[in-house]
Chains A and B, each alone.
Chain A
Amino acid sequence: MNVVVCVKQIPDPAAPGALDPQSHTLVREGKLILDDSDAYGVEMGLQLAGDAGEVTLVSMAPNQEVSGVRTALAMGAAKAIVVSDPALKGSDALSTAKVLAKAIERVGADLILAATESTDGYTGTTPVQVAELLGLPSVTFAKKVTVSDGKVRVERQTEAGFDEVECPMPCLVTVTAGVVEPRYPSFKGIMAAKSKPVDQLTVADLGLDASSVGAAGARQEITSVAAAEARGGGDIVVDEGDAHERIVQFLEQLKLV
């Protein structure tokens, strides 16, 4: 079967994040890497697609950057659609969903996979918005996914434990980190990824109106950005075999023991 995996290229999370001083949106310039949380969806997609099917990546980027997508291609995905357009700068979750939904329509997937949320923006609503725009059912927070007879069977995370959910395909599923162990791209995979097709499209190519996406379509205005009330660090002690006594004292002060 054919699987679409929505992936996001993000600035390296190891580098501190920044907000653009003018627009107050996340700075997403320069080199972008594959969001770690997307590696699980890519791995799950590769396992479920099997030999007869293939995995297509769908991503959106405000610039022409594709290095993160190449990482997922190196893992084994067959091809990618990357929607790149300056008009997408400042897109909110719904604008992103509109773009991804249009791109997915061009592929025709049995199953669409996405992470539960991205590591940099973590709004966590884009996948469900994509499903709604495509008129498809969705199951979020999957910690186990199996497919048989045209249906997915999902163990879905809940407050109390998990639900067993059944859903006919085509459908969209968001997977939690840890759902599978992502493979590392092999040397052969990395070399092969360089020549795999990456279809770069613009907003106009998708037939979307530029005013409905990006900052123009966001309908929210950042009015201020301020440092949160700093929580000062307290005492730091280096354990020399007796630090537990210091903790007990602290518990006594709080009258917890």
Chain B
Amino acid sequence: MSIEKVWVLAEAADGSPVATSLELLTQARAMAANVAAVTWGGGAATMAGTLGDYGATVVYDVGDLGGKLPGAPVAGALAELIASGNRPDAILVPATYDGRDVAGRLSAKLDVPVLTNVVGLSVDDSTITSEHAAFGGSLVVKARFTGDGPGIFVVRAKSFAAEASGGGVPTIEQLAVPDLGASAAATVLARHAEERTGPKLDEADVVVSGGRGLGSAENYALVEELAKLLNGAAGASRAIVDAGWVPYAHQVGQTGKTVKPTLYIACGISGATQHLVGMKGSKNIVAINKDQEAPIFSIADLGVVGDVHKVLPKLIEALQARR
């Protein structure tokens, strides 16, 4: 390793750093001696212990944003810090809604490129090389960052394993948000959480997903029932989320969640690249689809060419009988 300094955006969810930020802190430790976390939203003090445990020696806290969407104020505060002479070699950003906003704004402010869909990072003789999944993960593209730092890398969830290092509590440094004029004017009026039962989609050991092949929104109940019987979470392809059958929170794929469960069961999903990129890391894949040519079968450990409307009810019945 021969780069000096890496910053990691540590987005919070329910008062804790999101899993991807801990994965990125772990990776940052392997890349540079100085690792800092960036927080916002007012939770820095409570999260500092965890962030230190995963390798951050400093926490740059942008603090409470007064309801503003984070993209502009967080990018503004970081650009200010960089302008003051504190320049990292790389900034690692979890591929979340807010993470992408911060990365895009910061890229334009600093006039440095932002590299997205990163699934791997390495440092060789002070050159940072990033790996990107292209065409639904069928190709791995390696790119060398050639510009002046910082390189901004937006990294997909579960690209690295999170491992605590047992580091001490980091120092917290407050960052001020400069006057950003109109660009920071987007304000959150209210937050709505959708109800969820069972394990979280991106943490579940078993994920059962449904696609267009289900035929109608009502049939998604079969997917939910099977997921429940296997103590898993119910997912969905983009096609049926776009069609309004299920909320976006269930979407697995490029624009949705990345999942790597022990078992993934794809029901009536053809396997568009959009979808595959979010689930092909699953340890075992079962696919049920009536089209034998569906791309999903090329990655399935067990492929069933059949009608989900016939196979799923029998499977559910067989599992219920075993309880």
* Min distance, Cβ A148 to any Cβ of chain B, angstroms: 13
CB pair B104 A125 closer than 8 Å: yes
CB pair B182 A236 closer than 8 Å: no
- In the bound complex, residues from chain B placing their C-beta under 8 Å from that of A119 are 274
Docked pose: A223 CA to B288 CA in angstroms: 38
Which residues of A, 100-153, contact B by the 8 Å Cβ criterion?
116-117, 119, 122-129, 131-133, 135-141, 143
A204 within 8 A of B: no
Complex partner residue of B254 from A122, A138, A157, A225, CB under 8 angstroms: A122
CB pair B146 A141 closer than 8 Å: no
Q: Which of B145, B183, B190 has the most CB of A within 10 A?
A: B183
- In the bound complex, residues from chain B placing their C-beta under 8 Å from that of A163 are 188-192
Which residues of A, 211-242, contact B by the 8 Å Cβ criterion?
218-228, 231, 233-239, 241
With A125-B104, A135-B182, A166-B189 in contact, is A237–B315 under 8 Å at CB? no
Binds B, one of A3-11, A49-57, A89-97, A194-202: A89-97
* Min distance, Cβ B22 to any Cβ of chain A, angstroms: 16
A189 within 8 A of B: no
CB pair B300 A234 closer than 8 Å: yes
Docked pose: A244 CA to B301 CA in angstroms: 15
User: Is the interface on chain B under 10, 10 to 19, 20 to 34, or 35 or more residues?
Assistant: 35 or more
B75 within 8 A of A: yes
Number of A interface residues at 8 Å Cβ cutoff, please give it. 78
CB pair B183 A131 closer than 8 Å: yes
- In the bound complex, residues from chain B placing their C-beta under 8 Å from that of A244 are 311, 314-315, 318
B187 within 8 A of A: yes
CB pair B185 A171 closer than 8 Å: yes
CB pair B100 A236 closer than 8 Å: no
CB pair B300 A221 closer than 8 Å: no
* Min distance, Cβ A142 to any Cβ of chain B, angstroms: 11
* Min distance, Cβ A102 to any Cβ of chain B, angstroms: 13
B43 within 8 A of A: no
CB pair B186 A235 closer than 8 Å: no
With A124-B100, A163-B190 in contact, is A233–B144 under 8 Å at CB? no
Docked pose: A97 CA to B142 CA in angstroms: 23
CB pair A231 B280 closer than 8 Å: yes
Complex partner residue of B303 from A24, A92, A233, CB under 8 angstroms: A233
Number of residue pairs spanning A and B whose beta carbons lie under 8 angstroms apart: 262
Which residues of B, 259-292, contact A by the 8 Å Cβ criterion?
262-263, 265, 274, 280, 284, 286, 288, 292
The interface bits of chain B over 131-148 (1 if a CB of A lies within 8 angstroms of the residue's CB, else 0) are 001110111111111110
Q: Which of A143, A220, A233, A244 has the most CB of B within 10 A?
A: A244
Complex partner residue of B101 from A128, A218, A231, A236, CB under 8 angstroms: A128
* Min distance, Cβ B21 to any Cβ of chain A, angstroms: 13
Binds B, one of A68-76, A79-87, A246-254: A246-254
CB pair A128 B100 closer than 8 Å: yes
* Min distance, Cβ B179 to any Cβ of chain A, angstroms: 12
CB pair A223 B101 closer than 8 Å: no
Which residues of B, 82-121, contact A by the 8 Å Cβ criterion?
96-97, 100-101, 103-105, 107-109, 111-117
Docked pose: A83 CA to B142 CA in angstroms: 29
Docked pose: A243 CA to B305 CA in angstroms: 9
Binds A, one of B26-34, B50-58, B236-244: B236-244
- In the bound complex, residues from chain A placing their C-beta under 8 Å from that of B190 are 163-164
- In the bound complex, residues from chain A placing their C-beta under 8 Å from that of B144 are 220-223
Q: Which residue of A lies closest to B201 (CB)?
A: A159
- In the bound complex, residues from chain A placing their C-beta under 8 Å from that of B217 are none
- A-B CB proximity, top 5 nearest: A239-B306, A128-B104, A219-B147, A132-B108, A234-B301
Q: Chain A interface (Cβ within 8 Å of chain B)?
A: 16-17, 19, 24, 92-94, 97, 116-117, 119, 122-129, 131-133, 135-141, 143, 156-168, 171, 176-178, 218-228, 231, 233-239, 241, 243-248, 250-251, 254, 256-257
Further pairs besides A125-B114, A135-B183, A171-B186: 11, Cβ < 8 Å: A94-B112, A116-B255, A122-B116, A128-B71, A160-B191, A166-B189, A178-B244, A220-B115, A231-B280, A250-B286, A257-B230
Q: Chain B interface (Cβ within 8 Å of chain A)?
A: 13, 69, 71-72, 75, 96-97, 100-101, 103-105, 107-109, 111-117, 129, 133-135, 137-147, 154, 181-194, 205-206, 230, 238, 241-244, 247-249, 254-255, 262-263, 265, 274, 280, 284, 286, 288, 292, 297-307, 310-311, 314-315, 318-319, 322
A-B contact pairs, 12 of them (CB 8 A): A97-B108, A124-B100, A136-B183, A161-B191, A164-B190, A166-B189, A177-B242, A178-B242, A220-B144, A224-B142, A238-B305, A247-B286
